[in-house]
Amino acid sequence: MDPGVFWPALIVAAGFVGWGVLSPDSLASTSTAVLNWIIRAFGWSFVVSTAFFLAFAVFLAFSRFGRIKLGHDDEKPEFSTISWVCMMFSVGMGIGLMFWGVAEPIKHFGSPPHGLAVPQSREAALVAMQYAYFHWALHPWAIYAVVGLALAYFSYRRDLPTLISSAFHPLLGDRIHGPIGRTIDALAIIATLFGTATSLGLGAQQINSGMNFLWSTGESSTISLTIIGVLTVVFIMSAVSGVGKGIQFLSNMNMIIALILLAFLALVGPTVFIMDTLIEALGLYISDLVAMSFRTSAFSDGKWLASWPIFYWAWWISWAPFVGVFIARISRGRTIREFVIGVLLIPSAVTFVWFTIMGGTALYSELVGPGGLVEAINAKGEAVSLFALLEQYPMAVFTSSVAMFLVAIFFVSGADAASVVMGMLSSRGTAHPRPGIVVLWGLLAGASASVLLVMGGLNGLQTASIIAAAPFLVVMVGLCVSLWKGLMDDIEVHGHFENLDPHTGGVREDHL
């Protein structure tokens, strides 16, 4: 354990939980004030930085830097490509896709972004899918990619500890082992904690809605808190079992079940409409990608931007330390090009399919079928949207049970990885942190999610994500600068780009 990282992060986390337990109203009002200030003064920085991360990752992949291997020249990938993709996707945004897959397109359908279409029209349906793609495909995975790439490069090619601070070695030198480096790692733990808490809160709300749909249990904070408590115990048990045994098994199983659920909806739902939607919405997304990426509140709806793009970019940034550490951990032995293409394109492709089937089926219901989803979300909240859709198709009880099981396993696998990574960050980057430390961070993640739910439900979860992400955004920008310097140093040491073997990513033997 590194006391200089562990104790500051623990004090902040425990202080937040204690504040929420003793004075939730005070915490809520203070958090809202801080959030409003961040959005007003720095909302633009989330927009610009996220677009930059995407451009930077794509440049590295298709430049000659792409040949460099994330590891020593003779290393091979530890996990198969299938398991690699499943673990990335399940840990990266599993719960979010289950929660928002139906809810987001329907929300945009009922209230189109920036007034771009008449509410609940066919044009609104197309815009809804376009913005769902925008929020969930390339941009979030670019955020994960730059953090994961920097960590994998400095950890496995430079043999530095698997810590966020290690990626700053070209800028800070040995100072990464001092107070500055420890502050960076502590900020990463805090961002991870609240990003994880947001996802756990969303998952608990959706499971509660599913239970109410199936068994009329009602929906309340007490039930959601009980769900968080039970699943926290489960994911802690999974976390101490190790990456290979716990997360890999859960991720592979979850992807299979999720694909079966998607295939069911695609076959019994409006199959032709789904295919048409994918083609048209994807084309609109690609054509407007640059304009959407740089839209700020100067000439747009600032409130909408804060509730959607800025919240999402902040949520992904708060997840970036733990997802970055995790995908670096499972990506050793791959080249930069392989890493970036895999992290950007494969999960994005799955995301396009996911939202097209889930959201497209829901939009077809509103345009042609029985409808009622807009009203259900407005009356009962976003968590009920998936179950309201499944109710319109055969075997609703069975499919809703499967959906609720998926949310629970995504909950476990995501929190499992997060608690292990927080343990790594507070234990000098060891791949196998002590079980007691992993358990402690897992308990604090569950406690933070509980406090946020009591503090303000969905709004409370969004507030925590943005506040926790703001300082780490600065860290991420510095990380990109440091990675660039490190790659340039690598080329200077080993000679020209042409000296790199395109097959191994290392230096060709005739140039050693």
* DSSP, residue by residue, 396-418: HHHHHHHHHHHHHHHHHHHHHHH
pLDDT higher than 50, residue 286: yes
143 SS3 class = helix
Sign of CA dihedral 472, 474, 477, 479: negative
DSSP character string of 54-97: HHHHHHHHHSGGGG-BSS-TT---SS-HHHHHHHHHHHHHHHHH
Per-residue pLDDT, 510 = 43
Token pair listed for 175? 């100072």
State the average pLDDT over residues 12-20: 88
Residue 502: its pLDDT value, please? 44
What 8-state DSSP symbol labels residue 117? S
Specify the pLDDT at position 185: 93
Q: Using alpha carbons, select from 345, 334, 337 the residue that is nearest to residue 63.
A: 337
Q: Who contacts 91 (Cβ-Cβ below 8 Å, separation ≥6)?
A: 247, 251, 323, 326, 327, 413, 414, 417
Question: What's the whole-model pTM score?
Answer: 0.89
- pLDDT tens-digit readout, 173-201: 989 989 999 999 999 999 888 888 888 88
Cβ burial of 499 (10 Å; 0-12, 13-18, 19+) is middle
Cα–Cα distance between 147 and 136 in angstroms, integer? 17
Q: How far apart are CA 243 and CA 408, in angstroms?
A: 18
In whole angstroms, what is the distance from residue 298 CA to residue 356 CA?
31
**366: Cβ contacts below 8 Å, ≥ 6 apart:** 106, 109, 120, 125, 373, 374
Beta bridge partners of 500: 507
Say which range, 130-134, 303-307, 381-385, 491-495, has the weakest mean pLDDT. Answer: 491-495
Give the mean pLDDT of the chain. 86
pLDDT of 273 above 50 = yes
Determine which of 6-10, 39-43, 248-252, 436-440 has the lowest per-residue pLDDT on average: 248-252
Residue 494, pLDDT above cutoff 70: no
Express each pLDDT in 57-79 by its tens digit. Answer: 999 999 888 888 888 877 888 78
The burial class, CB within 10 Å (0-12 / 13-18 / 19+), for 40 is exposed
Beta bridge partners of 69: 335
